[in-house]
Amino acid sequence: MRKIGRQLTLAVTCAVLLAGCAIGQGPVVAPLALGLQGPVSAGSAAGSSKIGRASAIGIVMFATGDASISAAMRNGGITRIHHVDHETTNFFGFYAKYTTIVYGE
């Protein structure tokens, strides 16, 4: 019985530590976060006629993507930034998606 308790403790500890790899950033922390949005920064451009998006995803222990501001600018054809926002989706640490949204001209 004692051996099972140790194994269970080890399994839970590993699951908690490994799940942290897939948790996305958001304005609040919760195990289930769908469509959270928040600000990142503001720039000097006067208007925001164009929008560019760039995303990165994480699935359990694997993550890929380029959610940088420069990638979002490139995707939207933006040369001057008005402001930058982000959007986060997280499903219990098993799936997470972080999107950078750049507004500018």
Each residue of 39-85: pLDDT tens digit?
777 777 676 789 999 999 988 888 899 999 999 999 999 999 999 99
Q: Read off the pLDDT band of 28 (50, 70, 90).
A: low
pTM score: 0.68
> Which residue segment(s) compose the domain that 97 sits in?
2-104
β-strand partners of 95: 59, 91
In the 8-state DSSP scheme, what is residue 23? Answer: P
Tell me: pLDDT of 32 over 90: no
**Max CA pair span of the chain:** 67
> Is the alpha carbon torsion for 40, 29, 22, 94 positive or negative?
negative
Q: How far apart are CA 76 and CA 50, in angstroms?
A: 6
Q: What is the reported pLDDT for 70?
A: 94
**pLDDT at position 22:** 45
**CA 20 – CA 61 distance, rounded (Å):** 9
Q: What's the total number of domains in the chain?
A: 1
